[in-house]
Amino acid sequence: MDAEIVQVAESAPVAGETTQLEWRPVAGLAEISFKNFFLRLPTLGLYYFWGKTNLRRNLWGSVHLQGQPLEYTGKGWELFVGFLITMVVVFLPLGAAAVGLTLLFGKMFGATDPRAQLGILLLYPIFFYLIGVAQYRARNYRLSRTNWRGIRGHMAGSSWKYGWTFFWTTLVSLITLGWAMPWQATKLQTILTNDTRFGEEPLRFDALAKPLYLPFAIAWFAMVIGIGGIVYLIKGIGQKAAMAKALGVPVEAVMSPIEGGLLVLGIIALPLLYAVVSAFSISRKSNYFARHTHIQNARFELKTTPMSLIWLVLGNFFYIVLTLGMLSPIAQRRLASYIVGRASIEGAIDFDAISQSQAKIAKTGEGLAEAFDIDAF
């Protein structure tokens, strides 16, 4: 039984057709949550990698495309070994370098001089660079362990190159007080998407940064005004308090309740404000990026809304915080089902033309990403 098979009449590709991604939850998530939580201690943390793998198997298997689920084929030991290798190859030398630099600067400035602590700062660029590398490699590992109809994915580019782009664009974003961030996000996503292969089929990304700037500007100014207002209030109250101390009267005597009320309100409202404005800009960005992601002649479609996003994040916050992290798998499922339920593919894909990935499969995975703790799933 092989390629000689005569193809059974599949629904022939029709232009303009829409394929909805479906979320069909696989049973057993509660059990996974309990196990991941309670087995951590008796196994001295080692179970973490296996628990994470179990969770992914469950989540991946819940995503259906044209009636067939995704499949996660990664193994717990792959994550574990990847982590160990990273510890030995990256963090041991970095740790040694940190100690060495501290000693060196201690010698230059004297051990008690605060400048002696500056030596470690020299390592920060390396960390930034490695974050980008980690992102790329983790994505490659996950793609290579993600199958649909037996076809796996991979990343076709270089993680070191991506790390470098990540590094310098982050610098630009810092220097421009964040104003380069939409440009940076677009640039990085372009690399990530264009390097992505399903089988040997490339994805294409053609989004521009420009449409992201309006929501970004609104978010940026809202935050600057919000933070500025709170700083102003705190400063005012500080002066009043100093005045009260000088006069020898209680603070209440010189401060109006309105000021205090405003401050409390501001401190509570600021995170909420941030949540709302960033929800708007994240929702816009995700939908826009999805619409500009193509495979063959089809493109992706994502329909998130700011309010549903806020609701999702708030709910997840309580799932995680109130159960001390035990139900965080449920939170991850909520996020995954949210995205999948709102995603679809517009246009037809010729699946016969998508051939198996020829990329070498990495034996271990995600060590770096694990160390930086940068992944959502």
Partner 1 sequence: MSETAGFASEIVYSGQFSDGRTARTTNVDVRFAEHGIDLFKTQSGELLGGWPYEELESSVFVQTGEPAHLGNKTMLGARLFVPNNAGHRADFASELLVRVPHLSRKRANLQVVFWLTGAAVASVLAIIALNMMEFSPARSIAQMIPEQIRKGLGQQVIASLGRGKKACHSPAGDKAFGKILARLDQGTGKAGKFDVKVIPIGMMNAFAAPGEYIVVSKKLLDFVETPEELAGVIAHEMGHGEKMHPEAGVVRALGISAGISIAMGGSTGGLGDLGGLLLQLKYSRTAETEADTLALQTLKAAQIPAKPFAAFFARLEKEHGGLADLKKALEEAGEKSKKTSDKAKKDKKNKESGEKKTSAGGDGIWRALQLLSTHPSSPERIQMIKSQPKWKSAPLLSATEWQALRKICDSK
The window from 132-140, 144-152, 180-188, 283-291 that contacts partner 1 (CB under 8 A) reads 144-152
152 binds partner 1 (CB under 8 A): yes
By CB under 8 A, residue 320 contacts partner 1? no
**Binding to partner 1 by residue 122, rule CB under 8 A?**
no
Residue 234 touching partner 1 (CB under 8 A): no
Closer of 98 and 227 to partner 1 (Cβ):
98
Nearest to 232 by CA among 268, 266, 277, 271: 266
Among 29, 33, 63, 72, contact with partner 1 (rule: CB under 8 A): 72
Residue 217: beta bridge partners? none
Cα distances from 292 to residues 73, 220, 347, in angstroms, run 28, 25, 13
Q: Does 150 bind partner 1 (CB under 8 A)?
A: yes
Query: At its nearest, how many Å lie between partner 1 and the CB of residue 366?
Result: 10
Residue that has been written with the tokens 């991941």 in this structure: 36
- What is the distance between the alpha carbons of residues 25 and 36, in angstroms, rounded to a whole number? 19
Three-state DSSP at 361 gives: coil
CA end-to-end distance (rounded Å), the chain: 37
Among 33, 54, 304, 328, binds partner 1 (CB under 8 A): 54
Q: Which of residues 162-201 bind partner 1 (CB under 8 A)?
A: 198-199
Q: 40 or 161: whose CB is closer to partner 1?
A: 40
Q: How far is CA 188 from CA 169, 182, 239, in A?
A: 9, 10, 46
By the rule CB under 8 A, 375 interacts with partner 1: no
Distances (CA, A) of 218 to 221, 272, 276, 277, 332: 5, 15, 11, 7, 29
Chosen residue from 30, 89, 111, 122 binding partner 1 by CB under 8 A: 111
Nearest approach, Cβ of 267 to partner 1 (angstroms)? 27
Does the protein bind partner 1 through residue 78 (CB under 8 A)?
no
Reading the block at residue 262, the tokens are 């405003």
Q: Concatenate the DSSP letters of all residues of 227-251 into one string.
A: HHHHHHHHHHHHHHHHHHHHHTS-H
68 binds partner 1 (CB under 8 A): yes
358 binds partner 1 (CB under 8 A): no
Residue 157 is classified by DSSP as: S
DSSP letters of 104-129? HHHHHH-TTSGGGGGGGGGGHHHHHH
Q: Which of 172, 187, 351, 375 binds partner 1 (CB under 8 A)?
A: 351
- How is 275-288 classified by DSSP, letter by letter? HHHHHHHHHHHHHH
Q: Which helix (H) or strand (E) holds 254?
A: helix 251-254
Query: Using CB under 8 A, which of the segments 230-238, 301-309, 340-348, 367-375 binds partner 1?
Result: 367-375
Binding string to partner 1 for residues 240 to 279, with x set by CB under 8 A, is what?
Answer: ----------------------------------------
Select from 29, 263, 330, 371 the one that contacts partner 1 (CB under 8 A). 371
| 42: DSSP letter | T
Binding site residues, partner 1, CB under 8 A: 1-3, 5-10, 26-28, 35, 39-40, 42-48, 50, 54, 57, 60-61, 67-69, 71-73, 76, 83, 87, 91, 94-95, 98-100, 102-104, 106-107, 110-112, 117, 120, 147-152, 198-199, 351-356, 370-371, 373
